[in-house]
Amino acid sequence: MRVGVLGLQGDFREHLTVLRSLGVDARDVRTKEQLQELDGLIIPGGESTTIAYLLEKMGMLSALRERGAQGFPIYGTCAGMILLARELNDPYPENRIGLMDITVKRNAYGRQLDSFEVDLQIKHIGEFHAVFIRAPKIVRVGSEVEILAEHDGVPVLVRQKNLLASSFHPELTGDPRVHKYFLEMVARG
């Protein structure tokens, strides 16, 4: 199984470390050609506008949109969730992959200083200590989207078929269970 982590910007190294600790052939992905060699992809946290700009510039945005629509597993954390969202509740729209039927508000939990950690109950996983950093908030969930975890009644981990998205950063916790859940999605293809 070959799983890529989009390495254009953000905390991609942390995701690669988790995947490699699980024995996965994890690859730093920076070109459209590298996407074709993968069984799944993680889009890390970072600056969503920068990642979107670089995806477009590298010719990867439409390729990801096309592959994702065909069932290619994609997991977006934080900024990656923003890129997967069909809609943004934001005055500054940007190009996105736009395949997941959710509406997201950027930085809705506050600024960097407002970052926090909390224990969540995650369906299929159990209790999980989650790290939220300038996290986006899901403000609408479509009928085909399964809510896997909530914080204060707001979805923070969701799945729609081959797509997984979280407001939090599981790669910063030392707990690989969310990554293992994604790897199971990839294995089922």
Q: What are phi and psi of 96, to 5 degrees?
A: -140, 165
Choice among 14, 15, 151, 171 that is catalytic: 171
Q: Are strands 2-6 and 25-29 parallel, antiparallel or unpaired?
A: parallel
87 is catalytic: no
Choice among 78, 94, 117, 179 that is catalytic: 78
78 is catalytic: yes
Choice among 14, 15, 151, 169 that is catalytic: 169
12: three-class secondary structure by DSSP? helix
Q: What are phi and psi of 93, to 5 degrees?
A: -65, 155
146 is catalytic: no
| CA neighbours closer than 13 Å in the CB half-sphere of residue 7 | 15
Closest CA to 74 of 100, 40, 46, 97: 40
The residues that are catalytic are 78, 169, 171
